[in-house]
């Protein structure tokens, strides 16, 4: 063995420094696997704010396990008057910027006797969701109970899901939402943190409320604290929410009573979880 000459020593030193630098650099990259499980950060003043990645803490869909719940929303177009109270509640509880609405209320064809008809369109939480299929990084995914979720820590902002969504309910944060939320406190208080610039967001069926309610032993759809904010906010009772696996839930009853319920663009085979009851009921020949 010849002694190490200066040249080799310098090379070794350089290599070691480079490796250390890469190591330090890597350790600064946040590894999503190691995301803290804590619900509330120490500095947060409002303890009821749930972190965005809490939803990501919920297990992803496992196709061997049957889903324990089959959440669905039923919207009665005969009762909706297009007052946008649901949107105000959504803006407040989910702290969305004024230019992003997780659900939109649009006026559609009036009835035969001239009554105006509206159609609220939240995320359909499709059973076979095109957005889940196409997201290159799996940032949008099916939760264990089938709801379509966003992992804001994983989204790269490629906006492919926006092209894939047949309902146009996915919104990109073109700029950061700073400043006050005009719907707070009139319509409610934020329950989730704001999303950063550059990620896609969408209606979550207020999973934070569902999860918190279930943990407290409440029934989503029946107890307001466990029910999506838009459903609670609707003073006309146009929106109902619940578990289709439970035959006595509001949605199961509504769908049993109204066989004319329909879903949007059903021919695409996406299997939306949002059902609509037409403003003019078709003749029911059930009995």
Who contacts 244 (Cβ-Cβ below 8 Å, separation ≥6)?
Answer: 70, 71, 72, 251, 252, 255
Letters for 109-148 (x = contact with other proteins by CB under 8 A, - = none) are: ---------------------x--xxxxxxx---------
Counting contacts by CB under 8 A, is residue 164 touching other proteins? Answer: yes
Who contacts 139 (Cβ-Cβ below 8 Å, separation ≥6)?
Answer: 150, 151, 152, 154, 155, 156, 199, 200
Beta-carbon count within 10 A of 260 CB: 13
Counting contacts by CB under 8 A, is residue 61 touching other proteins? Answer: no
Instruction: Choose one: 83-91, 168-176, 185-193, 228-236; the region binding other proteins (CB under 8 A).
Output: 168-176
Residues 7-36 close enough to bind other proteins by CB under 8 A: 32
Q: How far is the CB of 154 from other proteins (least distance, A)?
A: 6
Counting contacts by CB under 8 A, is residue 158 touching other proteins? Answer: yes
Distance CA 80, CA 133 (A): 32
Nearer Cβ to other proteins (195/212): 195
Instruction: Choose one: 37-45, 174-182, 218-226, 230-238; the region binding other proteins (CB under 8 A).
Output: 174-182
- Return the HEC string of 191-215: CCCCCCCCCEECCCCCHHHHHHHHH
Mode of pairing for the β-strands spanning 148-150 and 140-142? antiparallel
| DSSP structural state of residue 67 | P
Instruction: Choose one: 69-77, 160-168, 227-235, 242-250; the region binding other proteins (CB under 8 A).
Output: 160-168
Q: Which residues bind other proteins (CB under 8 A)?
A: 32, 104, 106-108, 130, 133-139, 154-160, 162-168, 170-176, 196-200, 264-265, 268-270
């Amino acid at each position: 063995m010849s002694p190490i000459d200066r040249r080799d020593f310098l090379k070794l030193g350089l290599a070691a420094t480079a490796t250390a630098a890469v190591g330090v650099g890597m350790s600064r990259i946040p590894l999503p696997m190691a995301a803290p499980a804590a619900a509330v950060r120490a500095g947060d003043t409002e303890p009821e704010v749930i972190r965005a990645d809490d939803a990501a803490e919920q297990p992803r869909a496992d196709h061997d396990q049957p889903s324990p719940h089959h959440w669905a929303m039923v919207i009665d177009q005969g009762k909706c008057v297009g007052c946008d109270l649901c949107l105000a509640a959504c803006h407040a509880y989910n702290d969305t910027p004024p230019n992003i609405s997780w659900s939109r209320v649009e006026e559609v064809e009036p009835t035969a006797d001239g009554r105006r008809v509206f159609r609220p369109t939240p995320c359909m939480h499709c059973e076979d969701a095109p957005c889940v299929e196409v997201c290159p990084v799996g940032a949008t995914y099916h939760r264990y109970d089938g709801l379509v979720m966003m992992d804001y820590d994983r989204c790269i902002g490629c906006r492919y899901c926006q092209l894939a969504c047949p309902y146009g309910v996915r919104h990109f944060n073109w700029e950061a939402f700073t400043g006050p939320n005009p719907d707070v406190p009139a319509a409610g208080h934020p329950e989730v943190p704001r999303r950063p610039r550059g990620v896609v967001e969408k209606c979550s069926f207020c999973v934070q409320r569902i999860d918190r309610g279930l943990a407290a032993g409440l029934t989503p759809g029946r107890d307001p604290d466990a029910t999506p904010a838009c459903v609670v906010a609707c003073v006309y009772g146009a929106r109902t929410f619940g578990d289709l696996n439970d035959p006595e839930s509001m949605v199961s009853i509504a769908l049993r009573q109204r066989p004319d319920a329909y879903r949007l663009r059903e021919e695409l085979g996406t299997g939306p979880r949002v059902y609509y009851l037409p403003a003019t009921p078709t003749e029911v020949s059930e009995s």
